[in-house]
């Protein structure tokens, strides 16, 4: 039984704080030291009496230490024990010598306990009461020379002053220890919070990467509901919250809410929606989370918006018992998620706008290419058929068959080009020289249909021309030839294409009827063909010069800058 008691006591001592251990062991140390001086001191009282005093103090020390350990958290019991101990110390000082007793220093144990457990007001009261009672008691019981009170205090002033200063020193040290302990605990808590926050950041980075990847896969589906669902799902995972919601205006102009929670609660959803309606205007103007209370639960919400559009409000439930650093982390996480969500929604808008622009651009491309190539050929075919209708004599039958065959071939080519335009293939890319061959084939066809003499010369490396620039050159040539033959009534054309390392030169010269360019520009009467030429050249930051005189033909000079396309391993010289 005794062994069990000792083990239990040792375990209790081991689990004490450093301050309580100091108080615990100081009591025994001071008891031993003061008892030695007391026993070896004056002959009075007898050894037996001294032994009784020491024994009583030892038993009292053991009991008091155990009571303090057991009721460490009970302020009322501590106050009661300090009062009892103070009375006991005064009683012990009477037979042991009063102010001259060695046990006056043992009484510092009471001071240590008071300084550690109680506030400064109780400490000051205890000090005043203790020193006053001790001084009065010593004056009446140990004033053998019958000195006056002032003389008695004066003769013992050094002892009393030393005692008071030591007490205040102990109070200051204990106060400093308490502050250091508090700071240590705060640092320990902060360190734990930082570790937890760091773990949250690591998890957040992983979840945000998954969120971005998931949203990226939905970009082309244009599914806003799925996107919002994924945002809420990963918001709950990242912030470790029980409830996440996203509130927005539907296409019908109605405020709707999506809620993701561990425990389904339709009533909570309705209350949050009602709260959102009340605070919507305030929330969307803020750049930081807004706090709101719903059914004894705390939520924070932040607007998801770009500089020109509000996409909705993202919110999470927060745990009010969370540590401050975790709460701040949740605020920062929600701000980050709102920013990321706004970027994703803005990307949706941009993708949709790009899609519409691509459709519009494709429509313009098809319209322009049909006008530049197919329409020109159809116009030539129409003119040729019109001339064939006048060849009704049998003597022209052989020529008529030849011309009809030519018309048939032109119609087939026009149909082929029309299909290529619709599917985005302006050219048949089966060989390295097909760019030149295709231009020459078109020129040859136009010259035969219009009985015009068209010469075409090309100089330089065609492979250095980009695909878009080839398309532009083809359209410029077709537009220039079409204008010369159809509107200028030209019968002789000279076309030059010079491909240089940094620029491309195009020259088109005809002997047509010409026109007054200045008057047409002044009167804003330029035809579609001329407008198309200017538009094509300007789109590639090029320059175009058109010179035309009435009755003397027209000259068109175009200069287009180009970025040289290098093949693998090739060097531009």
Domain contains 407: no
- One domain, residues 51 and 136: yes
Is the pTM higher than 0.75? The answer reads no
Strand duo 492-499 + 453-459: pairing: parallel
> Are the C-beta atoms of residues 384 and 414 closer than 8 Å to each other?
no
Domain contains 60: yes
Taken as a whole, the chain contains a residue count of: 573
- One domain, residues 18 and 109: yes
- One domain, residues 488 and 573: yes
Contact partners, residue 517, CB within 8 Å, separation at least 6: 546, 547, 548
Q: Which of 355, 382, 412 is the last residue of a domain?
A: 355
- Look at the chain and report how many structural domains it folds into: 3
What is 207-253 written as a DSSP string?
HHHHHHHHHHHHGGGT-HHHHHHHHHHHHHHHHT-SEEEEEEE-TTS
- One domain, residues 288 and 144: no
Instruction: Tell me how far CA of residue 359 lies from CA of 196, 218, 262, 366, in angstroms.
Output: 51, 21, 44, 10
d(CA 164, CA 128) in angstroms, rounded, equals 9
Structural domain range at position 145: 2-155
d(CA 20, CA 351) in angstroms, rounded, equals 69
Structure tokens at 203: 């998890």
Domain contains 537: yes
Q: Which of 355, 389, 413 is the last residue of a domain?
A: 355
Q: Which of 133, 155, 177 is the last residue of a domain?
A: 155
User: What is the CATH classification number for the domain harbouring 303?
Assistant: 3.30.450.40
Domain contains 467: yes
Structure tokens at 378: 């159809």
How remote is the C-alpha of 512 from its chain's centroid? Answer: 66
Domain contains 103: yes
Domain contains 402: no
- One domain, residues 8 and 150: yes
User: What is the CATH classification number for the domain harbouring 529?
Assistant: 3.30.565.10
d(CA 510, CA 508) in angstroms, rounded, equals 7
Domain contains 173: no
- One domain, residues 463 and 536: yes
Sign of CA dihedral 376, 414, 536, 499: negative
Domain contains 472: yes
d(CA 394, CA 397) in angstroms, rounded, equals 5
User: pLDDT in tens for each of the 573 residues of the chain?
Assistant: 444 444 455 556 667 777 778 788 888 888 888 888 888 876 567 778 888 888 888 888 888 888 888 888 888 888 888 888 888 888 887 777 777 778 888 888 888 888 778 877 777 877 777 778 777 777 777 776 777 778 777 777 777 787 778 877 877 887 888 788 888 888 887 787 777 777 767 766 766 666 665 555 455 446 678 788 888 888 888 788 888 999 998 878 788 888 887 667 778 888 888 888 888 988 888 888 998 888 888 899 999 987 667 889 999 988 766 556 677 778 888 888 888 888 888 777 667 656 665 676 666 666 666 666 666 666 777 676 766 666 665 556 666 667 777 777 777 777 777 666 665 544 443 444 567 877 888 788 778 877 889 999 999 887 778 777 887 888 888 888 888 887 888 889 999 999 988 899 999 999 988 888 887 777 767 776 787 788 778 878 899 999 988 888 999 999 999 864 434 333 332
- One domain, residues 109 and 14: yes
- One domain, residues 258 and 342: yes
């Amino acid at each position: 039984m005794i062994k069990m008691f000792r083990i239990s006591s040792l375990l209790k001592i081991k689990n004490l704080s450093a301050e309580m251990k100091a108080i615990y062991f100081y009591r025994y140390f001071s008891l031993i030291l003061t008892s030695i001086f007391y026993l070896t001191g004056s002959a009075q009282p007898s050894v037996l009496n001294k032994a009784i005093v020491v024994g009583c103090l030892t038993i009292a020390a053991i009991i008091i230490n155990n009571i303090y350990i057991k009721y460490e958290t009970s302020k009322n019991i501590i106050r009661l024990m300090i009062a009892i101990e103070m009375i006991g110390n005064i009683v012990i000082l009477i037979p042991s010598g009063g102010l001259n007793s060695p046990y006056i220093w043992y009484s510092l144990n009471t001071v240590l306990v008071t300084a550690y457990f109680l506030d400064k007001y109780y400490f000051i009261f205890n000090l005043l009461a203790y020193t006053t009672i001790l001084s009065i008691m010593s004056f009446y019981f140990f004033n053998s020379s019958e000195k006056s009170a002032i003389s008695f205090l004066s003769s013992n002033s050094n002892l009393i002053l030393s005692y008071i200063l030591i007490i205040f020193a102990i109070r200051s040290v204990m106060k400093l220890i308490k502050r250091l302990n508090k700071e240590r605990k705060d640092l320990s808590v902060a360190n734990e919070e930082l570790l937890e926050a760091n773990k949250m950041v690591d998890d957040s980075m992983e979840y945000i990467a998954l969120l971005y990847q998931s949203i990226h896969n939905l970009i082309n589906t244009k599914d806003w509901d799925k996107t919002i669902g994924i945002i809420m799902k990963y918001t709950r995972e990242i912030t470790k919250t029980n409830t996440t919601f996203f509130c927005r205006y539907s296409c019908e102009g109605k405020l709707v809410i999506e809620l993701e929670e561990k425990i389904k609660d339709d009533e909570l959803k309705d209350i949050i929606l009602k709260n959102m309606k009340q605070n919507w205007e305030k929330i969307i103007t803020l750049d930081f989370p807004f706090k709101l209370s719903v059914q004894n639960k705390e939520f924070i919400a932040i607007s998801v918006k770009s500089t020109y559009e509000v996409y909705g409000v993202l919110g999470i439930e927060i745990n009010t018992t969370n540590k401050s650093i975790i709460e701040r982390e949740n605020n920062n996480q929600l701000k980050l998620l709102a920013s990321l969500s706004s970027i994703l929604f803005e990307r949706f808008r941009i993708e949709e706008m790009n899609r519409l622009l691509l459709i519009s651009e494709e429509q313009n491309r098809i319209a322009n290419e049909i006008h530049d190539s197919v329409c020109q050929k159809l116009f030539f075919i129409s003119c040729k058929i019109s001339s064939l209708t006048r060849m009704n004599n049998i003597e022209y039958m052989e020529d008529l068959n030849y011309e009809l065959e030519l018309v048939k071939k032109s119609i087939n080519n026009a149909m082929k080009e029309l299909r290529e335009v619709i599917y985005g293939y302006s050219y048949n890319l089966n060989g390295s020289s097909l760019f030149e061959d295709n231009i020459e084939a078109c020129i040859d066809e136009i010259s035969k249909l219009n009985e015009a003499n068209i010469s075409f010369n090309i100089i330089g490396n065609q492979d250095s021309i980009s695909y878009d620039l080839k398309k532009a050159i083809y359209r410029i040539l077709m537009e220039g030839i079409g204008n010369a033959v159809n509107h200028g009534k030209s019968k002789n054309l000279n076309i030059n294409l010079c491909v240089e390392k940094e620029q491309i030169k195009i020259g088109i010269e005809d002997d047509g009827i010409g026109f007054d360019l200045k008057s047409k520009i002044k009167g804003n009467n330029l035809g579609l063909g001329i407008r198309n030429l200017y538009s094509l050249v300007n789109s590639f930051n090029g320059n175009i010069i058109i010179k035309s005189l009435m009755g003397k033909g027209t000259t068109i000079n175009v200069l287009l800058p180009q970025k040289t396309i290098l093949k693998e391993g090739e060097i531009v010289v």
